[in-house]
Amino acid sequence: MIEQKHLIDLKGISKEFDGTTVLSNIDLYVRKNEFLTLLGPSGCGKTTTLRIIGGFEYPTTGTVYFEGKDITELPPYKRSVNTVFQKYALFPHLNVQDNIAFGLKIKKLHKDEIKKRVNRMLDLVNLKGYGKRSVESLSGGQQQRIAIARALVNEPEVLLLDEPLGALDLKLRKEMQLELKSMQQRLGITFIYVTHDQEEALTMSDTVVVMRDGVILQIGDPKTIYDEPANAFVADFIGESNILRGTMVCDEMVHFSGYDFPCVDSGFGENVPVDVVIRPEDIMIVGDDIGQISGIVTSVLFKGVHYEMMIDTGETEFKVHSTVMQPQGSQVGLSIVPYNIHIMHPMPQEPEIDEGGEE
Ligand SMILES: Nc1ncnc2c1ncn2[C@@H]1O[C@H](COP(=O)(O)OP(=O)(O)OP(=O)(O)O)[C@@H](O)[C@H]1O
Ligand SMILES: [Mg+2]
């Protein structure tokens, strides 16, 4: 049975294009008013998943439910879903207000109602007074906001957004992230958002879905995804990490970089290969004589808030972030508290990529 509180359910969704599997066995639910983000590298199947939810693509196997009803075969215009596409296409021959009004005119709403709603949308996306402008006279960011207004004006229950901020520069992207998030909260609309930008996903979402090669690797809230990544791929994709091959010696003891380190994980077995993930900010630089290991600083980069230092222990090169700079060439000690050593089941060394694989 499908749980009532779920707005959308994907059950066992697979998709093949010309015999190549691009999605395999996706199970996912979206709750009402949730901000859910599909995150993953190019070609992992984000857009395809979104298009299946929107009805622009049919899955090869599996079922799409909306409020418990099977909508797998339902065409897009019969779904309570609106989409802002990766390559948003405004009508170049229509001005701003006619672009936004397009869907409402098709629905044959009264002129006054259309005008009222269009003006409310222009207000919402901070483009009051732009109604009569031609879309071609607008900047990329303004056009993007019109594309969002055009989708929101139909008051969909669910808005699908495919990399809607991809074309914007960093500053505008940050502004729009906040704007979109607050719009979503004010309007109480469910957002399904696609991005390959991990920071964007972590800032905006209630739930992050990490994908790779057509498979979901992890679903969780941003903090869980960051603090407890399911495997080394997620850890690496979600932030900077030192990822090392290691051996679980026994419960709460792991061997890497030539030494045994106490850790907090157990249940992996004895003398089994594992991946060890350590965030650069979790490695402490201490006096050479009191560290668990010692190494030489081989490079120093100032990154705005912290310094990024590469430290070579002979066995391993660690990336370390610290607000205190150690000069290049100096000998330092490194110390890692057990809690900050994350043990994971090893990922395959070479991820197998099917022919359709990454671009
Ligand atoms: N209509 C199609 N015909 C054939 N192959 C397709 C089609 N649409 C998508 N694919 C393939 O499916 C895979 C997943 O594509 P998809 O567009 O979903 O990826 P994505 O995660 O959105 O990537 P990006 O971040 O680059 O937009 C890719 O290998 C792509 O080439
Ligand atoms: Mg895409």
Domains, the chain, with CATH or none: 6-227 (3.40.50.300), 242-344 (2.40.50.140)
Output the residue whose Cα is nearest ligand 1's atom 4: 17
Give me the pLDDT at residue 89, please: 79
Instruction: For residues 68 and 168, give the distance between their C-alpha atoms in angstroms, rounded to a whole number.
Output: 37
Work out the number of other CB atoms within 10 angstroms of the CB of residue 143. Answer: 18
- According to the model, what pLDDT value does residue 353 have? 45
Report, as an integer, the average pLDDT of 323-342.
96
Prediction pTM value: 0.83
Q: pLDDT averaged over the chain?
A: 91
DSSP three-state, residue 350: coil
Q: pLDDT digits over 55-68, tens only?
A: 999 999 999 999 99
Question: What span, in angstroms and rounded, lies between the C-alpha atoms of 274 and 246?
Answer: 5
Distance CA 99, CA 252 (A): 61
Cβ neighbours of 119 (radius 10 Å): 15
Q: Which ligand is nearest to the CA of 18?
A: 1
Residue with tokens 């402490």: 284
157 φ/ψ angles, rounded to the nearest 5 degrees: -75, -35
CB-ligand 1 contact for 47 (6 Å cutoff): yes
Amino acid at 345: H
- Find out whether the beta carbon of 19 lies less than 6 Å from any atom of ligand 1: no
Q: Which of 28-32, 204-208, 231-235 has the lowest mean pLDDT?
A: 231-235
What is the arrangement of strands in the sheet containing 259-262, beginning at the earlier edge strand?
Answer: 259-262, 253-256, 242-250, 272-278, 342-344
Closest alpha carbon to 195 in 209, 213, 180: 209
What is the per-residue pLDDT across 65-100, written as a single tens digit (0 to 9) for each? Answer: 999 999 999 999 899 888 887 777 789 999 999 999
